[in-house]
């Protein structure tokens, strides 16, 4: 859900509309007595599952999280406009790194205090970098076709305990999808590489060497050094996500990625758009 409207509308109105839409979904779910399963694959990706276990084992506290999803542009026509997509790279890709940093802090809070640690403020910047005059008529290898949405975004989240997260998402990154999360703890650092990772590395002077064999998503060429994903769906957490959803529905419990996370992702992203438009930090209402 989100704010699917004219991209020129005030961001305060977009934030309010997006939250109304999210609350309408949650109300419908509650009335129907069903389980809302929020399909945030980052949360279920094996590198992130390992990060959570290392966090638990360390006994340390998260000081900062840095997360990113970026690539060279969406292949979907709807992604070009606010009316059809509800936002640009901050929503379409940023929802993944936003979702994972929120869930990691929720997890930490539940383990330490019995309640999730939530985001309480957002500062963000967005831009259309591929349309800058400095780009001119240079050849762009990106596939972005943004009309009235951003192709670059950065957000800084402040949590209730004062810790921070930085989220990057853009359509200007060549070389394949970049899905990475780093946790800076009081007693360690964990780097989770969902994509790319070096489980397999391959080199060819000509991309045609590999024929029709799949390498990984959104690489512009198969030539040179590549990092072919041996099992991309598994590494991104899709089977694990579905298994948790089935178990949650059968057991009538909240999945690892559920309604609280889903609404907070919407809240943080549209607060980010408001911050970017006004040049100020946006405080989130918290009890």
Domain ranges of the chain: 11-193+233-283
Mean local confidence (pLDDT), 176-190: 97
For residue 127, what are the CA distances in angstroms to 32, 106, 285? 40, 30, 27
Going by pLDDT thresholds of 50, 70 and 90, the confidence category of residue 89 is: very high
Is 72's pLDDT higher than 90?
Answer: yes
Q: Can you read off the two tokens belonging to residue 67? A: 């997360």
- Output DSSP code: residue 130: G
Going by pLDDT thresholds of 50, 70 and 90, the confidence category of residue 11 is: very high
CB proximity list for 149: less than 8 A, separation 6 or greater: 7, 79, 80, 81, 82, 85, 87, 88, 89, 128
In whole angstroms, what is the distance from residue 75 CA to residue 54 CA?
36
In whole angstroms, what is the distance from residue 194 CA to residue 177 CA?
9
pLDDT digits (tens, 9 = 90+) for 217-243: 889 999 999 999 889 999 999 999 999
Going by pLDDT thresholds of 50, 70 and 90, the confidence category of residue 5 is: confident
pLDDT of 7 reads 84
Instruction: State how far Cα 223 lies from the chain centre.
Output: 28
Vertex 101: Cα angle to 79 and 282 (nearest 5):
75
Is 144's pLDDT higher than 90?
Answer: no
In whole angstroms, what is the distance from residue 84 CA to residue 187 CA?
44
The residues that bridge with 166 in the sheet, in sequence order, are 66, 156
Q: H or E element: which one contains 269? A: helix 259-278
Question: Which CATH superfamily does the domain covering 11-193+233-283 fall into?
Answer: Dihydrodipicolinate Reductase; domain 2 (3.30.360.10)
């Amino acid at each position: 859900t989100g704010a699917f409207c004219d991209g020129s509308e005030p961001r305060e109105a977009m934030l309010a509309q997006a939250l109304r839409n999210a609350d309408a979904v949650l109300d419908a779910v509650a009335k129907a007595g069903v389980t809302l399963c929020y399909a945030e694959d980052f949360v279920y990706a094996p590198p992130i599952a390992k990060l959570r276990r290392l966090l638990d084992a360390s006994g340390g506290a998260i000081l900062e999280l840095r997360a990113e999803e970026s690539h060279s542009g969406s292949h979907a026509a709807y992604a070009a406009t606010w009316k059809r997509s509800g936002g640009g790279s901050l929503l379409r890709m940023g929802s993944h790194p936003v979702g994972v940093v929120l869930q990691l802090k929720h997890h930490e809070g539940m383990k330490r205090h019995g309640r999730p640690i939530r985001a309480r403020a957002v500062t963000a910047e967005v831009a259309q970098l591929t349309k800058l005059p400095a780009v001119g008529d240079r050849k762009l290898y990106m596939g972005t076709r943004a009309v009235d949405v951003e192709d670059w975004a950065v957000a800084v989240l402040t949590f209730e305990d004062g810790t921070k997260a930085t989220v990057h998402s853009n359509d200007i990154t060549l070389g394949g999808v970049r899905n990475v999360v780093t946790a800076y703890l009081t007693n360690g650092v964990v780097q989770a590489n969902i994509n790319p990772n070096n489980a397999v590395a391959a080199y060819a002077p000509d991309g045609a060497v590999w024929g029709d064999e799949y390498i990984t998503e959104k690489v512009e060429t198969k030539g040179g050094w590549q990092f072919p994903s041996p099992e991309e769906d598994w590494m991104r957490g899709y089977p694990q996500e579905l298994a948790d959803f089935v178990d949650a529905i059968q057991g009538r419990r909240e999945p690892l990625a559920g309604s609280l996370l889903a609404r907070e992702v919407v809240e943080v992203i549209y607060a980010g758009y408001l911050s970017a438009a006004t040049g100020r930090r946006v405080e989130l209402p918290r009890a």
